């Protein structure tokens, strides 16, 4: 079974976000493999060990994203592909187009990814890629069983659980609870240095759609800002009816919920 895992390098979730001149500062920041992608890598390794085959991890990003791929290799993935974005401001549409250009040329039975990335949190890339590839997609899965060319999955559905069956090849995104990702061992880290690692660039995809998607994204980031400081709470006094009237006035004048 050939399994492809979609990965991304993101800020460490413990990092403090600093905004300078309208952009997020990366000075001294620690980057990690997107936490939700860790579930995807772990599941891919478990399925490979059960059914045979190999696990290939793919990421699009700057050269530093190689570190995230090395983490996946140290966990147990077999090979990795880094597509250098060359500093382009890629939106989810562009990322999906580039992934499609590469993945469509590969042999695969299953594609896994994280439910979303902890930086942008859009959760769009996987479903866009599935659409381009013409394969089934199920998001937020918490259980995955492969049997007789089909996948039986359970997915988180706003506090409930849905059970679905999809024919392979298919694409699934991992939610917390799917498994417990392993920590890379020292032996795994040493082995990762000798595993196949392919590096590509956008120039390797001679396609008008790729050029257009990378140079003219369909979406643009208008502004980046941190949430306003949290204000102290207010205690309402008086009778219940008086408190209700005060609450309505605060919702109207301060929260601006209605006019």
Rounded to the nearest angstrom, the gap between the alpha carbon of residue 205 and the centroid of all alpha carbons in its chain is 23
Instruction: Report the CATH number at residue 173.
Output: 3.40.50.620
**53 located within any domain:** yes
Please give the backbone phi and psi of residue 46, each rounded to the nearest 5 degrees, phi first: -60, -40
**60 located within any domain:** yes
**192 located within any domain:** yes
Asked if residue 29 lies in contact with residue 12, where contact means CB atoms within 8 angstroms, the answer is yes
Looking at residue 190, the DSSP 8-state letter turns out to be: H
**239 located within any domain:** no
Q: In DSSP terms, which residues pair with 81 in a beta bridge?
A: 58, 198
Pair type for strands 2-7 and 54-61 = parallel
Task: Quote the tokens at residue 170.
Answer: 């298919």
**196 located within any domain:** yes
Per-residue pLDDT in tens (0 to 9) along the chain, 259 residues: 999 999 999 999 888 888 887 788 888 889 999 999 999 999 999 999 999 999 999 999 999 999 999 999 999 999 999 999 988 888 999 999 999 999 999 999 999 999 999 988 889 999 999 999 999 999 999 999 999 999 999 998 888 899 999 999 999 999 999 999 999 999 999 999 999 999 999 888 877 778 777 778 888 888 888 888 888 888 899 999 999 999 999 888 887 787 6
**183 located within any domain:** yes
Number of structural domains the chain divides into: 1
Name the strand (E) or helix (H) holding 244. Answer: helix 240-253
Name the strand (E) or helix (H) holding 48. Answer: helix 35-51
Other C-beta atoms closer than 10 Å to the C-beta of 94 total 26
**42 located within any domain:** yes
Query: Which residue range is the domain that position 73 belongs to?
Result: 2-215
Report the predicted TM-score, pTM, of the whole model to 2 decimal places. Answer: 0.86
Nearest-Å Rg of the Cα atoms of the chain is 22
**108 located within any domain:** yes
C-alpha distances out from residue 133 to 7, 103, 106, 209, Å: 18, 9, 11, 15
């Amino acid at each position: 079974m050939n399994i492809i895992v979609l990965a991304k390098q993101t800020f460490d979730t413990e990092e403090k976000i600093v905004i300078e001149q309208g952009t997020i500062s990366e000075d001294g920041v620690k980057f990690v493999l997107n936490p939700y992608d860790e579930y995807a890598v772990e599941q891919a390794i478990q399925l490979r060990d059960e059914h045979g085959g190999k696990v290939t991890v793919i990421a699009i990003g700057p050269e530093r994203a190689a570190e995230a791929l090395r983490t996946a290799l140290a966990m147990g993935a077999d090979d990795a592909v880094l597509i250098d974005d060359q500093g382009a401001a890629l939106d989810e549409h562009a990322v999906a187009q580039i992934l499609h250009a590469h993945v469509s040329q590969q042999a695969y039975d299953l594609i896994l990814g994280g439910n979303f990335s902890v930086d942008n949190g859009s959760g769009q890339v996987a479903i866009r890629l599935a659409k381009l590839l013409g394969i089934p997609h199920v998001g937020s899965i918490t259980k995955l069983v492969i049997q007789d060319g089909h996948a039986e999955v359970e997915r988180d559905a706003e506090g409930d659980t849905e059970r679905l069956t999809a024919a392979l090849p298919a694409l699934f995104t991992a939610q917390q609870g799917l498994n417990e990702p392993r920590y890379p061992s020292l032996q795994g880290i040493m082995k990762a240095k000798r595993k196949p690692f392919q590096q590509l660039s956008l120039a390797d995809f001679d396609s008008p759609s790729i050029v257009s998607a990378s140079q003219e994204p369909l979406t643009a980031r208008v502004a980046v800002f941190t949430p306003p400081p949290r204000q102290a709470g207010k205690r309402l006094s008086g009778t219940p009816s008086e408190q209700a009237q005060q609450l309505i006035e605060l919702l109207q004048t301060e929260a601006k919920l209605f006019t």
